[in-house]
Amino acid sequence: MPIQAVRNELHRILKDSEYWDGSVWRLHTTEAGDKVVQLRALMSSPDSSSGWELKCEVREKLIEFIRENYPDSLPRFRASLFEQPR
């Protein structure tokens, strides 16, 4: 998944949000391993209540963006189901 695409989407989400105060926003790669990359979004809001709402809104919309545009980038868990012998 291209990180710049996520960064652009984050900015778009923030510009459309009633909870963002327009002051600060960043997207950082905080960890990068052989199978996982962790991104951290930083954004400002006028108060803590708005901050909570903004964080939830951004998380939900970014997950939806990734699911629609880069579904193979989301984690998957695979299980093998079989009948246990008695």
Q: Each residue of 44-69: pLDDT tens digit? A: 999 999 999 999 999 999 999 999 99
CB contact set of 52 (below 8 Å; sequence gap of 6+): none
In the chain, % of residues over pLDDT 70:
92
Q: Is the pLDDT of residue 10 over 80?
A: yes
pLDDT band for position 75 (cuts 50, 70, 90): confident
Q: With beta carbons less than 8 A apart as the criterion, state whether 6 and 67 touch.
A: no
What does the block give as tokens for 26? 């960043």
Tell me what pLDDT residue 46 has. Answer: 97
Tell me what pLDDT residue 36 has. Answer: 86
Q: Each residue of 13-55: pLDDT tens digit? A: 999 999 999 999 999 999 999 888 899 999 999 999 999 999 9
pTM for the structure as a whole:
0.84
